[in-house]
């Protein structure tokens, strides 16, 4: 009996030893994992130090891979072999959700609708664009300066004080005086926060949220625009809705730019945010030196021939702001009975890779 008990006790101790060893191993592994994660460190300074160290290690690893890739490309060129294919980086733009409304080059229906839409008369140059700019009834600190700069950006634009008139009466007034569009600068808390663009005489009406406004005087080394008609650049308006918004913006500007003025107005769509920029490109000549060739001797080593180099650079004229489409309404402005072509709703934002323009 005593021997059995001794054997049993010995066996139990062995099992307990193995169990305790496995538990200790798991704890050590858990501690190692936690030590690698900065989020598991409670001390802020230590957490920042670990995060900086991991970031530096990733940077060094990335640099090593880049050097190895350059060496492989160089070796392939020397041996006359084909270069390894370059990897295309994954971005939110090139991994966007599939959209059936993306315009295709062979879309005959789209091109046919362009000839009969509300903007066709201006874009065919049958009508010269004439823009009426006004404000909301609320006062604004930077609103007047913003409108002044809009008048310098959009040719043939005219400012009218809002007063106490309803927007529907302003629409009727503008129709009778051959205006092609109305731009209403809306303000909130003394700041411009929205733009309303009304196409005349039959619409449509687009409501944009306005943000990140930077006036010309706040831009470093800004330029002053001339009165020449600017070139217009529209980028990344790929869907049918984006195509329609792009044509609406295009109808605000004359279709015969004066290239002597070297002015460029850009509306760049990226992830449904429309970035506005206004530049003037400048050509500068710089004196360079080139060693003379075909002559021998010590004296010829110091001889140089001057050579002029033409360098182009962009000078921002301002203003700078960002637009985001809130709604597109059929016809001219109507707060009650109007039908909407498109309205942004919070439930539509189901993915970071879903875009509408």
Structure tokens at 59: 């940077």
CA angle centred on 70, ends 65 and 75, rounded to 5°: 125
**Rounded CA gap, 272 and 208, in Å?**
11
Phi/psi-derived region of residue 4, left when phi > 0, alpha when psi is between -120 and 50, beta in every other case: alpha
pLDDT at 134: 93
3-state secondary structure 200-236: CCCCCEEEEEEEEEECHHHCCCCCCCCCCCCEEEEEC
**Rounded CA gap, 228 and 263, in Å?**
7
Fold of 108-288+307-348: Rossmann fold (3.40.50)
Cα–Cα nearest to 181, from 215, 150, 209 = 150
Query: pLDDT tens, position by position, for the chain (357 residues)?
Result: 445 444 444 444 445 555 555 666 666 655 555 556 777 777 888 888 888 888 898 999 999 988 888 888 888 888 877 777 777 888 888 888 888 888 888 888 888 888 888 899 999 999 999 999 999 888 788 889 999 999 999 999 999 998 889 999 999 999 999 999 999 999 888 899 999 999 999 889 999 999 999 999 999 989 888 889 999 999 999 999 999 999 999 999 999 999 888 999 999 999 999 999 999 988 878 776 554 454 444 444 445 455 678 888 889 998 999 999 999 999 888 877 678 999 999 888 888 889 999
CA angle centred on 134, ends 257 and 221, rounded to 5°: 55
Q: What separation, in Å, do the N-terminal and C-terminal C-alpha atoms of the chain show?
A: 87
pLDDT at 81: 77
pLDDT at 31: 58
**Burial tier of 275 (Cβ tally within 10 Å: 0-12, 13-18, 19+):** middle
What's the pTM value of the predicted model, to 2 decimals? 0.74
The pairing of beta strand 263-270 with beta strand 231-235? parallel
Q: What is the DSSP string of 166-179?
A: -HHHHHHHHHHTT-
**Rounded CA gap, 247 and 278, in Å?**
19
Domain coordinates of the chain in residue numbers? 49-87, 108-288+307-348
pLDDT at 4: 47
Cα–Cα nearest to 83, from 96, 94, 72, 91 = 72
Chain mean position to CA 168: 33
Cα–Cα nearest to 171, from 323, 322, 327, 338 = 338
pLDDT at 181: 95
User: For 173-187, how does the pLDDT look when each residue is reduced to its tens digit (9 = 90+)?
Assistant: 999 999 999 999 998
Structure tokens at 3: 């021997």
């Amino acid at each position: 009996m005593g021997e059995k008990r001794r054997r049993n006790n010995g066996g139990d101790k062995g099992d307990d030893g193995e169990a305790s060893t496995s538990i200790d191993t798991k704890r050590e592994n858990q501690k190692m994992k936690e030590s690698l994660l900065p989020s598991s460190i409670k001390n802020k300074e230590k957490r920042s130090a670990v995060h900086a160290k991991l970031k530096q290690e990733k940077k060094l690893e990335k640099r090593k891979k880049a050097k190895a890739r350059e060496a492989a490309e160089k070796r392939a060129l020397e041996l006359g072999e084909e270069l390894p294919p370059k990897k295309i980086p994954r971005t939110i733009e090139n991994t966007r959700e599939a959209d059936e409304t993306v315009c295709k080059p062979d879309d005959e229906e789209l091109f046919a609708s362009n000839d009969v839409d509300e903007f066709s008369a201006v874009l065919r140059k049958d009508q010269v664009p004439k823009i009426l700019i006004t404000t909301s009834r609320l006062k604004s600190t930077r609103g007047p300066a913003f409108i002044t700069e809009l008048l310098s950006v959009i040719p043939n634009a005219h400012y009218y004080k809002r007063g106490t008139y309803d927007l529907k009466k302003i629409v009727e007034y503008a129709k009778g005086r051959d205006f092609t569009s109305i731009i209403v600068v809306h303000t909130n808390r003394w700041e411009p926060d929205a733009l309303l663009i009304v196409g005349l005489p039959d619409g449509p009406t687009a409501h944009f949220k306005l943000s990140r406004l930077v006036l010309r005087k706040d831009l470093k080394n800004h330029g002053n625009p001339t009165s020449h008609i600017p070139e217009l650049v529209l980028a990344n308006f790929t869907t049918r809705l984006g195509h329609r918004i792009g044509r609406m913006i295009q109808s605000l500007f004359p279709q015969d730019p004066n290239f002597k003025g070297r002015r460029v107005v850009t509306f760049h769509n990226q992830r449904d945010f429309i970035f506005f920029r206004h530049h003037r490109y400048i050509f500068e000549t710089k004196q360079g030196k080139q060693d003379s060739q075909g002559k021998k001797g010590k004296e010829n080593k110091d001889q140089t021939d001057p050579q002029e180099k033409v360098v182009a650079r962009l000078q921002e004229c301002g203003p700078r702001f960002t637009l985001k489409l809130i709604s597109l309404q059929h016809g001219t402005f109507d707060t009650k009975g109007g039908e909407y072509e498109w309205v942004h709703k919070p439930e539509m934002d189901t993915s970071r890779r879903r875009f509408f323009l």
